[in-house]
Amino acid sequence: MDDIIALARELISIPSPLGNTSQIEEHVAAWLGGVKGAEVNLAPVKGIGNNVVAEVTHDRALPTLLLNGHLDTVEVCRGWTRDPFTPAVEGDRLYGLGSADMKSGVAIAMLMFKRLADSGNVNVVFAGSVDEEGDSSGAFALLDSGLKGDLCLIPEPSGGKIMMGCRGRVVFEVEARGASAHGSRPEEGVNAISEASRFVGEIGKIPLAEHPILGKGSFCVLEMSGGTRTLSVPDSCWLKIDRHYVIGETKDSMLRELAHVGKKMPGGADFDISYWKKRPTPFLEPYITENKGLAAVFAKAVGRAFSYGKSVGDYNTFSKIIPTVVFGPAGTNWHASDEFVSIASVRECVEGYERFAQAISAR
């Protein structure tokens, strides 16, 4: 079992921020190349890096399991009190950038790939994706390549629970257009920044649909820009707005909600509202994985409570074509300083995956 912690430490020690993952791609590919019968490829993702794909096919009649983990991390943020690339163990905590999100999970997926490949009871694919911390370009490239499977397992940090679904996400951009005037006579113009701020207040009043499993959606203003260098009433202001949503809502219905708020604003500004134009991949949709088939086998073998995610990830992408289950360790400070993962929870996850492997062997 110490092999899992040693492998996680190896991966943490390799910097792999979004868009700069070549070193970890090569390391993971070399490790997977040591698995008997594995065919390993670096699959280019334009402008991003390479997905690492390894496959062992025993018999086309057998089910195929897909093990996924993202190889990229966020950038180093301020506030770290230790070297983020020197993994350190303190009690039950393994510190390091990506320790929870998700290099310990990638280590789990790598070891389980070898375990399942050696068993001969299933066909197995390991897909190490890039750009998960960006726009999931790697995951969409895997789908476009024709990747298929009967069950997708992702050891993203899930607190030791089995995540069977997740909300979706859309990003909107809003252009508020006012009218310029001298800054000493603001009443003669329409201040686009002020009106955009009022618009933000109004969207907070939109009733949010509630799903019995996924809960409610949410709004979050991510960016706001506008203003002038001169003493003039700002005549434009741009907003970027995150909208997490649940099954039963649609992109178009949410766009109409925002447009309706913009039309009702009394301050004289015009609001041009659209989907965020710079996203290169489709927005991620909400999903629920049914507790049946191999997903039910996994859930029974692992024996943990179900949960449902608030934010999105590559799992939303894979769920479009493959039943997708997330089961990973507990950790703290993802996307923040002094990130760590619980060593005990990593080992417990490995034990859960091992029980699933045994259940597959008994089928």
Q: At 229, which amino acid appears?
A: R
Q: Is the residue at 91 inside a domain?
A: yes
Burial class (CB in 10 A: 0-12, 13-18, 19+), 231: exposed
For residues 125 and 179, membership in a common domain is answered with: no
49 CB neighbour count, 10 Å cutoff: 25
- Whether cis (ω within 30° of 0) applies to the bond prior to 102 is yes
For residues 122 and 29, membership in a common domain is answered with: yes
Global pTM reads 0.94
* Domain-ending residue, one of 242, 275, 308: 275
Q: DSSP letter for 248, please.
A: T
- Give the list of residues 6+ apart from residue 358 with CB closer than 8 angstroms, or none: 301
Burial of 54-78, coded b for 16+ CB within 10 Å and e otherwise, reads: bbbebeeebbbbbbbbbbbbbeeee
**Number of domains forming the structure of the chain:** 2
Q: Is the residue at 264 inside a domain?
A: yes
Can you name the residues that pair with 241 across neighbouring β-strands?
Answer: 172, 221
> Residue 313 belongs to what domain range?
2-166+286-362
Q: Which of 157, 147, 2 is nearest to 73 (CA)?
A: 157
Whole-number Å distance between alpha carbons of 197 and 180: 17
Terminal Cα distance for the chain, rounded: 25
For residues 157 and 18, membership in a common domain is answered with: yes
Task: Considering only CA atoms, give the Rg of the chain.
Answer: 23
Q: Is the residue at 143 inside a domain?
A: yes
For residues 234 and 102, membership in a common domain is answered with: no
Each residue's pLDDT expressed in tens, for the chain with a length of 363 residues? 569 999 999 999 999 999 999 999 999 999 999 999 999 999 999 999 999 999 999 998 999 999 999 999 999 999 999 999 999 999 999 999 999 999 999 999 999 999 999 998 899 999 999 999 999 999 999 999 999 899 999 999 999 999 999 999 999 999 999 999 999 999 999 999 999 999 999 999 999 999 999 999 999 999 999 999 999 999 999 999 999 999 999 999 999 999 999 999 999 999 999 999 999 999 999 999 999 999 999 999 999 999 999 999 999 999 999 999 999 999 999 999 999 999 999 999 999 999 999 998 877
Q: Which of 73, 29, 35, 74 is nearest to 53 (CA)?
A: 29
Q: Is the residue at 280 inside a domain?
A: no
CATH number for the domain that contains residue 215: 3.30.70.360
Q: Is the residue at 281 inside a domain?
A: no
246 CB neighbour count, 10 Å cutoff: 23
What are phi and psi for residue 312, nearest 5 degrees?
-110, 165
For residues 219 and 158, membership in a common domain is answered with: no
For residues 187 and 329, membership in a common domain is answered with: no
Q: Is the residue at 27 inside a domain?
A: yes
